[in-house]
Amino acid sequence: MASSKPIYVLDATPIIHFAKIEKLKLVLGICEAIITREVYRETVERGEGRPDAMTVHDAIRRAELRVYDVRDPRLIAALQRHPEIHTGEAETLAAAKELNAPAVVDEAEARAIAKTYGIQTRTGTLFLLFKLLTLKRIKATEALRILDELVESGLYIDSRTLTRARQTIESFETVSRDRPRVNASAGKVSREMRDKRARRLLGHE
C-alpha cells in the first residue's frame, strides 16, 4: 500500500539541525523524507564521526530517509548558474522538480529562484517545526523548546522571523487553553487567524 504521508525533499540545513537536537525522528514520522546524493555527502560523509551525522546515517539504514539520485544533470547545471545556489540546494530543487514534491529549503534566495523554474518549496526548518505543531505531534510548549534548541544548535533565524515564530507558536497554546471558554464560532475564528499567521510566516501567503 502506498504511503499517505507527503513527500518532502529536504536540504541539508533542516536535516543537520533536527539531527543535532535529536528530533530528526519526529520529522521523519510525518513525511516520506528524501535527500539527494550531495546532501548525503554534506550531512553524513563530511560530518563523519559527529553524533548528528551518525543519526542521519542510521535513519538511511533503517529506510526512514531515502537517498535520491537526480536524473537530469542539465537542471542542476542551470540552477548552479545562479551564484546564490550551491550544489546541495541545486540537487534538492532538481529532485523536487522530478518528484513533483516540495523542496524544504531554508535559504530565501534559493526559494525565490526555484519559483522561476516552477519548483515547489517550503520554508525549511521552520516549516517542519510548524508542521509538527499543526499535526499535533508536539504541543506549543515543546515547539517553543525545540525552536530554542534549533537556534542553540547554530540554525540562523533573523530576529524578526524568530519573534514572529514565537508569537505564532504561543497563539497555538492560547487557542488551546481558551477553548473551553469560547463558543464554537469564536474558537473557529481564533484558529483561522492563528493558522493564517502560520501560513504567512512560512511563506504560503
| pLDDT band, residue 192 (cuts 50/70/90) | low
Q: How confident is the model at residue 189 (pLDDT cuts 50, 70, 90)?
A: very low
Residue 188: is its pLDDT beyond 90? no
Contact between residue 109 and residue 84 where contact means Cβ atoms under 8 Å apart? yes
The string of pLDDT tens digits covering residues 2-33 is 568 999 999 999 999 999 999 999 999 999 99
Question: Three-state secondary structure along 69-85?
Answer: CCCCHHHHHHHHCCCCC
Kindly state the average pLDDT of the residues 138-158. Answer: 97
Round to whole Å and give the CA distance between 198 and 181. 23
Q: What is the CATH number assigned to the segment(s) 7-122?
A: 3.40.50.1010
Q: What secondary structure letter does DSSP report for 44?
A: I
Within the chain, all domains assigned CATH 3.40.50.1010 are found at 7-122
